[in-house]
Amino acid sequence: MTPRRPLQIVVIDDNEDDILLLQEALEGLDGVELLATETDGERGLQRVAECVRQQTPPDLVLLDLNLPGRNGIEVLQLLKSEPRLRQIPVVLLSTSNLESDVKRALACGADSYLSKPGRFDVLQRQLQQLVTRLRTGDSELADSAWA
């Protein structure tokens, strides 16, 4: 049996502590590789496009809602409007769990929305559920329980 290639993930988040937490949580999961991290929307958008140009498109983008420069919604809309990038699943991350933020993110093309939990074990479990859905080809990422 041929080993599966790791799922490659790009994280775009302006909070260095959140990036470190996500990195640690992802490192604890089998078959996952953190491809890149960026701290603002514009650089994140450029990084995803660069990965695609280099024939290493990410399998997932974890995108913070509140970013300097281009915010998460703007980056999401640009990713989903570009034919070469629109197939990449994007999960919006935020400390906000307001229903209006979730609905707006999903309406703009997010594949799911993750309210950043206060506990590491909860974050890792949420990411594991997401990775499992991606691995099994489940396109209904929005059905994941992120609360």
- What is the per-residue pLDDT across 24-78, written as a single tens digit (0 to 9) for each? 999 999 999 999 999 999 999 999 999 999 999 999 999 999 998 899 999 999 9
pTM for the whole thing? 0.91
User: Among 4, 67, 77, which residue's Cα sits nearest to residue 38?
Assistant: 67
Kindly list the structural domains of the chain, giving each domain's residue range(s) and its CATH number in brackets, ordered by start: 7-143 (3.40.50.2300)
Q: Tokens in use for 124?
A: 């890792």
32 CB burial (10 A radius; 0-12, 13-18, 19+):
buried
- What is the per-residue pLDDT across 77-91, written as a single tens digit (0 to 9) for each? 999 999 999 999 999
- What is the per-residue pLDDT across 90-99, written as a single tens digit (0 to 9) for each? 999 999 989 9
- Which strand (E) or helix (H) includes residue 68? none
